[in-house]
Structure 1
Amino acid sequence: MRRPRHLSPDDKAVWDHVRAQVKPLHAQKRPKPAPDAEPEPKKVTPRPPVAPFSVGTKADITRPHDILPPLRDRLRSAPVAMDAKNFLRMKAGKLKPEGRLDLHGMYQDEAYPELIAFILNAQAAGKRLVLVITGKGRVSDGWAPEGRGVLRRHVPQWLQLQPLSPAVLEVRPAHLKHGGDGAYYVYLRRRK
C-alpha cells in the first residue's frame, strides 16, 4: 500500500484549482451521501480462537487432514470390479499370472510405451491376469514424501488413462510371493 503524499501549500492550491474544473462523466449514477450520515462500519466475522502453543507441547492430531492416504491403501480400499471368487484367489496369491513385465531400472519415458505395448498385447492374446513389476524404489531420504519409487506411483495412474483404461478391469498390489508392494496385479477385460 502506498503512503499518502503530503502536498505543499502551492501544490494543494493547484490541485484544488484543477479539481474545481473537472466534471464527472456519470454524475447521475453516483448517489450523494447524506451530510450527517456516517459510513456503516464493516462487519467483522470473528475468527475461532487459536489454542495457545508453547514449545514442547504435542500437536492436535484429532482433527482430520486433507492429505491423501498412501497409494497402497487407496488401491486396496478401491471397490472391486471383478468377480469376488477370482478376486479373493488373486488377493491370496493363488491365481498364477499369465504374463509378466519387469520395469526395473527403466526411466518413465522408457517404461510407459513398454507398459502400453505389454497390456494391449496381453489382452489381444486373451490373457486375464498379468503381473507388472515396478520395484519398490529407493528408501526416502526426506525430500520425497513416499520415497523415490516413481514407477511404483505412476503405473497405477497410467493404467487408468487412455489407451489402457478400456483394457484394464482391476489393479491391485501383488501378493508377497509375487513381489508385494513392488508389483501390481493387472486383471484385464475380455476382448470383444
Structure 2
Amino acid sequence: MNAAQRALPVRSFAELKPLRRRLAEAAAQEAERARAQAEAERRAQRERQLFAHAVGPVQPLKGQGARHWHVAEPPEPIPVQRQLDEARVLREALSDEFDVSTLLDVDDQLSYRRSGMGLDVTRKLRSGAWSIQRQLDLHGLRTDEAREALAEFIRLAHRTGLRCVRIIHGKGLGSPGKTPVLKGRVQRWLVQKKEVLAFVQARPADGGAGALVVLLQPGRRS
C-alpha cells in the first residue's frame, strides 16, 4: 500500500468508489508532472545541441585561470570651461583700439622693432637673413577668429622655439573697396604680444604687401 492509500483509510464499501477516483486523479497529475519535466529536459538538450552545432567545437583558452582582468580607468574629463576661458583671455588680450602708429618705423613698409632693438634687426628680416620656419594664413577668417588664431599661433611658435614666422593677412583685393581688413589689425595685435621682437612686410616672393615676417623672442627649444 502506497502513501496515498495509507492517507485515505476505507471505513466502508461505499467509500471505495470515490477513493478510486481520487487515486486516479492523483496518478494522472503525477504523470502530467513527469511528462512536463521530461519535455523540459528534452527542450534544454535540443537547445544545447543547437548552440554546439552553431559554434562548432570549442576549447577553453590556456591560462585563463591565472588571467587577471583590469577595467580601464575612464579618461580624464575634457576641461571645456577652462579652454573657453583661455580663448576668451586670448581675445581680450589683443585690443583693436591699440594705437600702433607711434611704434612703427616710418618707412614705406611700416616695419616694427621692439624698444631696444637695433635697426639691423629689421634690415636682416627684410633681406631674408632669417629663414621662415612656419606660417599662418588668415584668409577667410572673421576678425575674432583671426585674432584668436594669431594669438594661439604666436604662443605655440614661441613655446616650440621658432624664431621667424610669416603671417599672411592678405592684400584685401576681395574686400569692399579693396582695402585690406586684417592688415592693420594684425600689426596692432603683433605689437601687443611680448613674444614679438620685430616684423617687416614680406619680400615679394614671400607675399609682399599681403604678409608680414615676424621675429620672435628665443623660446624653449631655440
Q: Give the TM-score of the pair, scaled to structure 2.
A: 0.45
Aligned position for 1:47: none
Give the 3 Å change call, closer, same or farther, for CA 83–135 of structure 1 in structure 2.
Answer: same
Rg (Cα) greater in structure: 2
Aligned position for 1:151: 182
C-alpha distance in 2, partners of 1:136/1:72?
A: 18
Give the 3 Å change call, closer, same or farther, for CA 74–133 of structure 1 in structure 2.
Answer: closer
- 1:93–1:178 Cα contact (<8 Å) kept: no
Aligned position for 1:104: 139
Q: Give the unaligned 5+ runs of structure 2.
A: 1-101
C-alpha distance in 2, partners of 1:132/1:159?
A: 10
Name the % identity.
32
Q: Secondary structure at the match of 1:137?
A: coil
Aligned position for 2:214: 186
- The correspondence of residues 137-148 of structure 1 with structure 2, limited to 5 A, is 137-138=172-173, 147-148=178-179
Q: Which has the higher helix share?
A: 2
Deviations 1:89-139 (A, max 9, x none): 321234321110001111111101000000000000111100000110027
- Residue type at the aligned position of 1:180: G
The 4+ residue runs of structure 1 with deviation greater than 3 A are: 71-74, 76-89
- Residue type at the aligned position of 2:190: L
Q: Give the unaligned 5+ runs of structure 1.
A: 1-67
Deviations 1:50-96 (A, max 9, x none): xxxxxxxxxxxxxxxxxx99x97362486886466554332123432
- 1:81–1:170 Cα contact (<8 Å) kept: no
- 2:169–2:183 Cα contact (<8 Å) kept: yes
- 2:165–2:214 Cα contact (<8 Å) kept: yes
User: 2:196 matched to 1:168?
Assistant: yes
Q: In angstroms, what is the RMSD of aligned CA positions? A: 3.3
